[in-house]
Amino acid sequence: MKVALLGTAPGWEQALDLDQTWELWGLNEGYLRDPALLTRCSRWFELHGYTPLTKARRRPEHWGKLATFAGPVYTLFQLPGIPNAVRFPIEAVAAIRDYFACTFAYQIGLALSEGVTEYGLYGTPLTGAREALVERPCVEWWNGYAEGRGVKVTIVHESDVGLGRQPYRYAFNDQAERYLAYKFAYEHHEDVEEWIHYEEMRLRVTRPWWEKPMRRIVRTSYAKKVRAATQKTGEY
């Protein structure tokens, strides 16, 4: 059993070149990359179900498109009007480990429970705000677990960083590795701030009272360490 899990970032299209021994699994609104995916994929995953939070993030025509899908459409909740909706077998998959931070983790768990021998993640750098914080570590755990069981895992995307990417060795390529980490963190923190603001509105929560002073304390403390190191070595 070989399975290609399709994301939506560049690199997803390489899964279309796989031979017929592979199953293609799609998710969410992935068909927006290519409407033909609704016929090419053998299974679809809309785990969020027909809930208010999900409806706010999906196009109105999304549910009608899923209703035309010929294979099973996995969900954790209800998908009214979708004849092939199937309840995701959470109990069986969670018996491996109850650790699911994104749809890809559920997909990998399901594939493992069905005896997959090889799977690939296509178009899945997982470098977005929430993705890098909680989703990528989860997927990396599942990938490591799968490889430990002898399953071949392939990761295909076009990002220099992200899932399965660490082009420089920590300490060995110290300057280059630190610069790349700094560059990613610098670019990522703006995405995180925007995501936090969006989640506060979506979840109707307010920012914790300690957030701003805590950030100032952390930054000041770190800045002192960097300045001290710079003065001693002339580097950094």
Are residues 22 and 127 part of one domain? Answer: yes
Choice between 221 and 17, residue whose per-residue pLDDT is larger: 17
- Mean per-residue pLDDT, 203-225: 57
Q: Reply yes or no on whether the pLDDT at 187 is more than 60.
A: yes
Establish if 181 belongs to a structural domain: yes
Q: What is the percentage of the chain residues whose pLDDT exceeds 70?
A: 88
According to the model, what pLDDT value does residue 49 have? 81
Burial 172-189 (b: 16+ CB within 10 A, else e): eeeeebeebeeebeeebe
Q: Distance between CA atoms of 78 and 206, rounded to whole angstroms?
A: 30
pLDDT tens for 52-86 read: 888 888 999 999 999 999 999 999 998 989 999 99
According to the model, what pLDDT value does residue 235 have? 43
The gap from C-alpha 147 to its chain's centroid, in whole angstroms, comes to: 18
Number of domains in the chain: 2
According to the model, what pLDDT value does residue 212 have? 57
Are residues 144 and 201 part of one domain? Answer: no
Beta-sheet strand order (sheet of 43-45):
85-87, 73-75, 43-45, 22-27, 2-6, 118-122, 152-156
Establish if 196 belongs to a structural domain: yes
Are residues 107 and 42 part of one domain? Answer: yes
Are residues 94 and 17 part of one domain? Answer: yes
Are residues 189 and 152 part of one domain? Answer: no
Q: Which of 95, 124, 156 is the last residue of a domain?
A: 156
Are residues 110 and 60 part of one domain? Answer: yes
The gap from C-alpha 125 to its chain's centroid, in whole angstroms, comes to: 7
Q: Reply yes or no on whether the pLDDT at 198 is more than 90.
A: no
Establish if 123 belongs to a structural domain: yes
Are residues 150 and 186 part of one domain? Answer: no
Q: Reply yes or no on whether the pLDDT at 223 is more than 50.
A: no
Choice between 157 and 221, residue whose per-residue pLDDT is larger: 157
Instruction: Identify the domain containing residue 67 by its residue range.
Output: 2-156
According to the model, what pLDDT value does residue 5 have? 98
According to the model, what pLDDT value does residue 218 have? 46
Three-class SS of residue 167? coil
